[in-house]
């Protein structure tokens, strides 16, 4: 059903007075609500309607008539096409307010928390000092443009069409040289790119990860096959790159005028085999072509080794602040037992271990747990143990005192130690992916009844849903703080602390 007055392709004038979940502007034309892509709150725009529903419609900016005071000149000329930066045309200060409001709204509407309570426990969002070139990881799809030219770049919003661009303003400037070297190698050696619809061709993605502290860069080429032709030539190209303006040693890396770090260098080159027809980028198998199989980074004085398959926060500068808050919210004095669920390579676990009596980490990816154990060893941290498996399976297994068969790498011998301390920790930290925690995991957390629960979340909607469950289980919201990890995108990281209050609700 369309609208009685408007139809597709109509041009209307709209004043934007709100921001939607995907960063779009929201305004009314004659009482008809329109979601206007690329409009900034405060703008008056001429918009073209792209889709009409009975009570609301979608539109796109044709012309800005009166720009909002929050409108800024975007740094990237491709930001409107790209799916990555939805709100680059909005001032950074206004972006932060948008994110803070988004968290508040989710806690209010999905979590059911009263506004006064949220406002009483919320601390101001932690913004970035430098909201450009902050990402340490880039995943570039490789393919062809309309004329059949080999390109790499990014997916246009909501599609899998690749727009050529090797110079993303969020990633490190060195990515450009690396991507161009990979394309050169492909052209010179007649290496094909993957064609998603047919499932043919070889190179699918290039993953680049940079250790901001160490300067080490890992390049991983994801291929639809076992092997790249003339692998040695790719290695030659990448190791021959002069990424830094001058060679420096690791500790005196300085920024040059164009944003390059003087000590950055390719430290490892690998391929990942992914022959499945899937949206999942990485294959399960990684083979090193040259150099190291993982890169290093340092956070809060702890050094971490990171393999290509392991999750690692994309914004190391903000991550340090985030983990500092997690430690603060955990309220450790040295006597506590802590579970760190969804622990990845053990980043939060090792932060906590310095101040806790004992930490237990749980993570589903075996390679990440290998990294975590190595990281603990390398840093001489002994009061931490890691388990491979799903949080919703490992935690109940410990709580119930029985270990289900089939939980990989689970040390049954440890069960005699599954004593009161493990079953009743003082603090549980969770940091799940966007979909949030499994119900079984939440139930077990409630049954274990820790004094405090620290929840780190990259999706405030699922966070609010899970907090409602914890609240019904006897916990109250004690602290809320957003940390901007993803400037210019609509995503926001939040950390909260819940305290046991004994007021269970049925
Ligand atoms: N705390 C870590 C990782 C957070 S990302 C850090 O800050 O670096 C979320 C992690 O949860 C990923 O490493 C992912 O592999 C893991 N994960 C996803 N589902 C899981 C599950 N059901 N049980 C345990 N870990 C899971």
Question: Ligand 1 within 6 A of 458 CB?
Answer: no
Which domain CATH number covers 358?
3.40.50.150
Domain check: are 244 and 388 in the same one?
no
For residue 113, being part of any structural domain is answered with no
Is residue 352 classed as helix, strand or coil in its secondary structure? helix
Q: What residues make up the domain containing 61?
A: 2-66
For residue 190, being part of any structural domain is answered with yes
For the CA of 310, the closest atom of ligand 1 is: 13
Q: What pLDDT was estimated at residue 263? A: 83
Mutate to test the pocket of ligand 1, among 137, 319, 342 (most ligand atoms within 8 A of CB): 342
Domain check: are 320 and 291 in the same one?
no
The DSSP symbol for 71 reads B
Q: What pLDDT was estimated at residue 249? A: 38
Domain check: are 290 and 326 in the same one?
no
Long-range contacts of 272-278 (CB under 8 A, 24+ apart): 272/207, 272/220, 272/221, 272/222, 272/223, 272/308, 273/223, 273/225, 273/226, 274/204, 274/222, 274/223, 274/224, 275/224, 275/225, 277/199
For the CA of 343, the closest atom of ligand 1 is: 1
**Torsion over CA of 255, 261, 263 and 268, rounded to 10 degrees?**
170
DSSP-assigned beta bridge partners for residue 217: 210, 266
Which domain CATH number covers 219?
2.40.50.1070
Q: Whose CA is nearest to atom 22 of ligand 1?
A: 390
CA 486 – CA 492 distance, rounded (Å): 6
For residue 303, being part of any structural domain is answered with no
Candidate list 82, 458, 471, 501, residue with the active-site label: 458
For residue 100, being part of any structural domain is answered with no
CA 248 – CA 223 distance, rounded (Å): 33
Q: What pLDDT was estimated at residue 83? A: 80
Domain check: are 166 and 26 in the same one?
no
Domain check: are 143 and 60 in the same one?
no
Question: Ligand 1 within 6 A of 390 CB?
Answer: yes
For the CA of 349, the closest atom of ligand 1 is: 1
Domain check: are 261 and 364 in the same one?
no
Cα of 326 from ligand 1 centre, angstroms: 16
Domain check: are 347 and 480 in the same one?
yes
Q: What pLDDT was estimated at residue 246? A: 44
Domain check: are 40 and 173 in the same one?
no
Q: What angle do CA 487, 218, 84 make, to 5 degrees?
A: 25
Cα of 82 from ligand 1 centre, angstroms: 27
Question: Ligand 1 within 6 A of 8 CB?
Answer: no
Provide the edge-to-edge strand list for the sheet that holds 358-363: 122-126, 475-483, 493-500, 452-457, 427-430, 337-341, 358-363, 384-388
Domain check: are 287 and 411 in the same one?
no
Cα of 75 from ligand 1 centre, angstroms: 33
CA 401 – CA 49 distance, rounded (Å): 59
Domain check: are 351 and 256 in the same one?
no
- Give, for all 506 residues of the chain, the pLDDT tens digit: 677 789 999 999 999 999 999 999 999 999 999 999 999 999 999 999 999 999 999 999 999 999 999 999 999 999 888 888 999 999 999 999 999 999 999 999 999 999 999 999 999 999 999 999 999 999 999 999 989 999 999 988 778 889 999 999 999 999 999 999 999 999 999 999 999 999 999 999 999 999 999 999 999 999 999 999 999 999 999 999 988 654 443 334 567 666 667 789 999 999 999 999 999 999 998 999 999 999 999 999 999 999 989 999 999 999 999 999 999 999 999 999 999 999 999 999 999 999 999 999 999 999 999 999 999 999 999 999 999 999 999 999 888 865 444 343 345 545 544 567 888 999 999 999 999 999 999 999 999 999 999 999 999 999 999 999 999 999 999 999 999 999 999 999 999 999 999 888 86
Domain check: are 484 and 390 in the same one?
yes
Active site residue 220: no
For residue 248, being part of any structural domain is answered with yes
Q: Residue 150 contacts by C-beta under 8 Å, 6 or more apart in sequence?
A: 142, 143, 144, 183, 186, 187, 193
Q: What angle do CA 86, 87, 89 make, to 5 degrees?
A: 125
Q: What are the residue ranges of helices labelled H in 248-401?
A: 316-330, 347-353, 366-378, 391-400
Question: Ligand 1 within 6 A of 365 CB?
Answer: yes
Q: Residue 422 contacts by C-beta under 8 Å, 6 or more apart in sequence?
A: 337, 360, 398
Question: Ligand 1 within 6 A of 441 CB?
Answer: no
Question: Ligand 1 within 6 A of 394 CB?
Answer: no
Which domain CATH number covers 26?
2.40.50.140
Q: Which of 77, 46, 81, 40 is nearest to 62 (CA)?
A: 46
Q: What are the residue ranges of helices labelled H in 254-390?
A: 316-330, 347-353, 366-378
**Of the residues 66, 89, 116, the one at which a domain ends:** 66
For residue 42, being part of any structural domain is answered with yes
Q: What pLDDT was estimated at residue 421? A: 82
Cα of 390 from ligand 1 centre, angstroms: 9
How far is the CA of 373 from the CAs of 286, 468, 472, in angstroms?
19, 34, 35
How far is the CA of 109 from the CAs of 223, 379, 426, 461, in angstroms?
44, 43, 30, 9
Cα of 163 from ligand 1 centre, angstroms: 31
Please answer whether residues 235 and 221 qualify as being in contact, where contact means their C-beta atoms are separated by less than 8 angstroms. no
Please answer whether residues 366 and 390 qualify as being in contact, where contact means their C-beta atoms are separated by less than 8 angstroms. no
The DSSP symbol for 264 reads -
Q: What are the residue ranges of helices labelled H in 33-80?
A: none
Give the count of domains, the chain: 3
CA 358 – CA 335 distance, rounded (Å): 8
Cα of 179 from ligand 1 centre, angstroms: 29
Domain check: are 24 and 169 in the same one?
no
Q: Residue 186 contacts by C-beta under 8 Å, 6 or more apart in sequence?
A: 142, 150, 192, 193, 203
Q: What pLDDT was estimated at residue 257? A: 65
């Amino acid at each position: 059903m369309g609208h009685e007055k408007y139809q597709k392709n109509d041009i209307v004038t709209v004043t934007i007075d709100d921001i939607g979940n995907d960063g779009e502007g929201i305004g009314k034309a004659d009482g008809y609500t329109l979601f206007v892509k690329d409009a900034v709150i405060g703008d008056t725009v001429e918009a073209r309607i792209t889709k009409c529903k009975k009570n609301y419609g979608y539109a796109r900016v044709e012309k800005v008539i009166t720009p909002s005071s929050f409108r800024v000149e975007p740094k990237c000329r491709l930001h409107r096409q790209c799916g990555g930066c939805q709100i680059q045309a909005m001032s950074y200060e206004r972006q932060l307010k948008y994110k803070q409001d988004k968290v508040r709204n989710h806690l209010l509407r999905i979590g059911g928390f009263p506004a006064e309570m949220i406002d009483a426990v919320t601390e101001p969002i932690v913004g970035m000092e430098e909201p450009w070139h902050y990402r340490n990881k880039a995943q570039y799809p490789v393919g062809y443009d309309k004329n059949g030219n080999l390109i790499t770049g990014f997916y246009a919003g909501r599609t899998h069409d690749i727009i050529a661009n090797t110079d993303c303003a969020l990633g490190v400037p060195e990515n450009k040289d690396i991507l161009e070297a990979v394309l050169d190698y492909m052209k010179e050696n007649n290496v094909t790119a993957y064609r998603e619809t047919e499932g043919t061709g070889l190179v699918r993605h290039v993953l680049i990860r940079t250790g901001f502290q160490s300067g080490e860069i890992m390049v991983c080429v994801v291929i639809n096959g076992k092997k790249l032709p003339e692998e040695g030539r790719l290695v030659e190209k990448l190791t021959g790159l002069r990424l830094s303006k001058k060679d420096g040693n690791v500790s005196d890396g300085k920024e040059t005028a164009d944003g390059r770090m003087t000590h950055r260098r390719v430290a490892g080159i690998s391929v990942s085999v992914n022959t499945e027809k899937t949206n999942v980028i990485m294959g399960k198998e990684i083979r090193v072509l040259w150099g190291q199989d993982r890169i290093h980074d340092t956070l809060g004085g702890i050094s971490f080794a990171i393999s290509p398959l392991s999750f690692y926060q994309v914004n190391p500068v903000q991550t340090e602040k985030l983990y500092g808050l997690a430690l603060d919210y955990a309220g450790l004095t040295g006597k506590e037992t802590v579970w760190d669920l969804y622990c990845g390579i053990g980043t939060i676990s090792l932060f906590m271990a310095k101040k806790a009596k004992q930490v237990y980490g749980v993570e589903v990816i075996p390679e990440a747990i290998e990294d975590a154990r190595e990281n603990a060893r390398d840093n001489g941290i002994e009061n931490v143990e890691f388990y491979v498996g799903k949080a919703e399976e490992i935690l109940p297994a410990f709580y119930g005192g029985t270990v289900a068969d089939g939980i990989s790498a689970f040390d049954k011998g440890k069960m005699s130690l599954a004593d009161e301390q493990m079953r009743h920790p003082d603090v549980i930290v969770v940091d799940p992916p966007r979909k949030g925690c499994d119900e079984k995991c939440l139930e077990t957390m409630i049954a274990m009844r820790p004094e405090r629960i620290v929840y780190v979340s990259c999706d405030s909607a699922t966070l609010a849903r899970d907090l409602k469950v914890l609240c019904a289980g006897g916990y109250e919201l004690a602290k809320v703080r957003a940390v901007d990890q993803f400037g210019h995108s609509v995503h926001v990281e939040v950390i909260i602390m819940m305290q046991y209050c004994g007021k269970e609700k049925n």
